[in-house]
Amino acid sequence: MIDVPAELAATQEKYNKEAGRAFIAALPDLTTSFLRRWNLRVTGTPMHGVSALVLPVDRADGTPAVLKLQIRDHESEGEPTALRLWNGDGAVRLLDHDEPTGTMLLERLDASRMLAHLPDVHEGVLVIARLLAHLHTTPAPAGMRRLGDIARSMLERTPAALDRIPDPAARRLVADCAAAVREVADEPGDRLLHWDLHDENVLAADRAPWLAIDPKPLAGDPGFDLWPALANNFDADDIAWRFDAMTDVLALDRARARAWTYGRVLQNCLWEVEEGRPLDEADLEIARRLRGRTA
C-alpha cells in the first residue's frame, strides 16, 4: 500500500476541491493497479509536486523509470502528447501512457541534481533558454490547448477583475498588461510550449546535461514561456538581464516577447483576483521593469 503524502492531499484539496479529494482517495488503488499492469517494482521513496505522485520504479528488465500519477485536467492532459513529440530532445522520455487516467511511465532522471541547486542563477536562466530553444522547434499538434483561446478568455475577464483591484497603480498596471495582450492576440503562435519551465522542472541525466520535466503544454508564441525563469529566484534588479538573455538565445522579437510576458502576468493576476487573493508583488514588479524598457 502506498501512503499518499499529506502535502499532496492538501494541495489537491486546495486547488481541485471535490475532484482533488476523489483523486487522493483513489490514488492507493490506482497506484497498485499500474504497478501490476506494467510489472513495476518500487525502488525508492515516493516524491510529489503540487499535483502528482511520482514513484521511482524498476521495469521487469531492470530499467529504472518513474511512475507518475496525476489528476487529469486541461493543463496536464497534453503532457504525454508533448513528450511523445519531443521524443527526448530537451525533455524527459515517455515510456508508456494510460490515456483514461493520464498515468505515465517516464525515464528516470537524477532527482538529486536539479537545476535549482546550481549556484549560478544566470547560468540556470541560460540553461532554461537553451532547453526552450529545443522544445519550441516542434509545432503544436491539432487538439492542443491554444494560447489564442487563453488570451481571448483573459481579455473577456479583465474588466470584471479590474473592478476588484483597489490600488489604482496596480489596477493601471494590470490594464496595461491587458492592452499589450490585445495588440498581439490575433497572432498567438503555433509552437509547442512547455508553460512551466522553471529551475525545479529541470533535472540532470546521464544522456544529457539537463532535461525538462512536467510540461503543461499549449500551442502558442515562445514569448509566453519566459515568465517562469523571470519569477523563480526572484530578483527585481535581474529581470532585465534575464529577459534580454532569454530573448537573445531564443532569437525573439523583444517587443512581442514582452507583450506575451505581460500576458503571463495578466493570467496570474486574474487567478489571484478571482480567488480573492492579493496580487503577487513579484508579478507586478516584472511588469513594471519590462514596461520601463525601450528596446
| Residue among 3, 2, 25, 1 nearest 12 (CA) | 25
Between β-strands 110-114 and 103-107, what pairing exists: parallel, antiparallel or unpaired? unpaired
| Residue among 257, 112, 269 nearest 178 (CA) | 269
Cα separation, 258 vs 235, whole angstroms = 18
Sequence length of the chain is 295
Among this protein's residues, is 3 annotated catalytic? no
Q: Which residues pair with 7 in a beta bridge?
A: none
What are the CB-based long-range contacts (under 8 Å, 24+) for 250-254?
250/129, 250/132, 250/133, 250/136, 250/222, 252/222, 252/223, 254/293, 254/295
Identify whether the C-beta of residue 116 lies closer than 8 Å to the C-beta of residue 127. no
What angle separates helix 239-250 from helix 121-135, to the nearest 10 degrees? 30
| Residue among 226, 222, 197 nearest 212 (CA) | 197
Hey, what amino acid is at 98? D
The Cα-based distances of 245 to 90, 141, 197 in angstroms read 19, 29, 16
Joined together, the cell numbers standing for residue 12 give: 489537491
- Active-site residue, from 58, 98, 196, 280: 196
Q: Which residues are catalytic?
A: 196
